[in-house]
Amino acid sequence: FVPPTAQILGGTSFCTGQSPTLTNAIAGGTWKSSNTGVATINANTGQITTVSAGSTIITYTTACGGVST
């Protein structure tokens, strides 16, 4: 059984040059960006660095394997 994760908080749309930080109520997970040409994300802190215009999927995976996008 993989418990669900909490909702990702912190926004859904950002301008190039912004560096917001996303959060999740379940601590200890890791963050990942599907398109690092658009935005990178610090795997531990959730801080995004926007790189260019476009779309990416940000994923948060808990230590137990639960995933939020």
Task: Give the residue from 1, 12, 3, 6 showing the smallest Cα distance to 58.
Answer: 12
Average pLDDT, the chain: 90
Place of tokens 């658009």: 38
Q: Where are the alpha helices (DSSP H) in the chain?
A: none
**Predicted model pTM:** 0.86
pLDDT cut 70: percent of the chain above it:
94
What's the chain's length in residues? 69
Model confidence at 9: pLDDT above 60 = yes
Give residue 2's pLDDT.
62
Rounded mean pLDDT, 33-58: 96
Rounded mean pLDDT, 34-49: 97
